[in-house]
């Protein structure tokens, strides 16, 4: 892992970044830097936009932090592993937690799917995107994951690329060594979709539809029943360790 600067504040800015560029701060960013962190003109922060890498920037402004002047690049842009996290949405704070942890684990795309037993029928996509940005700011991540609009499970399965490996975290699967099962697969070169269902489980017709999918790997997450947000962390950990960018393979 490259050496990271964990002491400097980090901000996501939706603007092109390059040496000498000037970026205007949004009101909440200005308030955060000036009133929360007590930073003033001349102090430095780190900024990223998900496209141009990470840069050091100097705060400007007379009464409050108004703009940033981009100075030097600290890290070039990277790429997230081709891992899509597909999940049945949860309520409120637990959904926030699940999104944040998926970003920390390196998911490149988040796809909420609606199933028969999904707890919520409406998903605040803008709140999910805000959680993606917050997690990236806090954890030194410079590539932003995409957040897809929610769609029915059947429509997701009908439209997904059959070349991608579908890791179906199935509470009815036989408990075995999940790392060995993942390492044994040869179908992950086209990308990986990790699917976590609702806490009520999948309906029987949904399970039958899933098991008919090409390039599917049923995976048990151990002998205990996990809450959906816990299952997200467990599943993404296993996938990243066996097939992702954690260096085992």
223 and 109: one domain?
yes
Mean pLDDT of the region 10-22: 96
161 and 198: one domain?
yes
Q: Is residue 1 in a domain?
A: no
For residue 249, give the H/E element and its range. none
Q: Is residue 192 in a domain?
A: yes
Q: Is residue 248 in a domain?
A: no
234 and 131: one domain?
yes
CA–CA separation, 192 vs 82, rounded Å? 6
237 and 171: one domain?
yes
Q: 194: closest CA among 230, 218, 224, 159? A: 218
Rg of the Cα trace of the chain?
A: 20
CB-CB contact of 193 with 86 (8 Å): yes
65 and 106: one domain?
no
Question: Residue 61 sits in which domain range?
Answer: 10-75
Q: Is residue 3 in a domain?
A: no
Q: How many independent structural domains does the chain possess?
A: 2
Give residue-wise pLDDT tens across range 110-160: 999 999 988 887 889 999 999 999 999 999 999 999 999 999 999 999 999
97 and 26: one domain?
no
The percentage of residues in the chain with a pLDDT greater than 70, rounded to a whole number, is 96
CB-CB contact of 128 with 159 (8 Å): no
97 and 166: one domain?
yes
42 and 59: one domain?
yes
Quote the pLDDT of residue 247: 67
172 and 215: one domain?
yes
pLDDT band per the 50, 70, 90 thresholds, residue 249: very low
Q: Is residue 247 in a domain?
A: no
60 and 88: one domain?
no
CA–CA separation, 108 vs 22, rounded Å? 29
Q: Is residue 4 in a domain?
A: no
Give residue-wise pLDDT tens across range 174-220: 878 888 888 888 666 789 999 999 888 899 999 999 999 999 999 98
Q: Is residue 100 in a domain?
A: yes
CATH number of the domain where residue 118 is located: 3.40.1280.10
Mean pLDDT of the region 73-82: 94
Quote the pLDDT of residue 1: 52
15 and 135: one domain?
no
Q: Is residue 226 in a domain?
A: yes
């Amino acid at each position: 892992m490259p050496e990271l600067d964990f002491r400097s504040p980090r901000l996501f800015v939706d603007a092109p970044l390059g040496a000498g560029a000037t970026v205007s701060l949004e009101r909440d960013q200005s308030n955060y830097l000036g009133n929360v962190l007590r930073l003033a003109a001349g102090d430095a922060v780190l900024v990223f936009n998900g496209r141009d890498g990470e840069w050091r920037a100097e705060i400007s402004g007379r009464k409050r932090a108004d703009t940033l002047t981009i100075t030097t690049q600290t890290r070039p842009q990277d790429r997230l592993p081709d891992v899509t996290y597909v999940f049945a949405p949860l309520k409120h704070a637990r959904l926030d937690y699940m999104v944040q942890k998926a970003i920390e684990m390196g998911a490149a795309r988040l796809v909420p799917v609606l199933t028969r037993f999904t707890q919520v029928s409406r998903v605040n996509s803008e709140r999910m995107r805000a959680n993606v940005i917050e997690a990236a700011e806090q954890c030194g991540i410079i590539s932003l994951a995409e957040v897809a609009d929610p769609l029915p499970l059947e429509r997701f399965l009908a439209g997904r690329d059959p070349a991608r490996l579908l890791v179906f975290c199935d509470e009815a699967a036989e408990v075995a060594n999940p790392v060995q099962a993942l390492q044994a697969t040869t179908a992950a070169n086209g990308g990986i979709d990790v699917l976590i269902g609702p806490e009520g489980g999948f309906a029987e017709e949904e399970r039958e539809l899933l098991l008919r999918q090409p390039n599917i790997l049923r995976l048990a997450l151990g002998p205990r029943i996990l809450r959906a947000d816990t299952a997200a962390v467990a599943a993404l950990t296993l996938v990243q360790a066996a097939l992702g960018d954690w260096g085992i393979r």
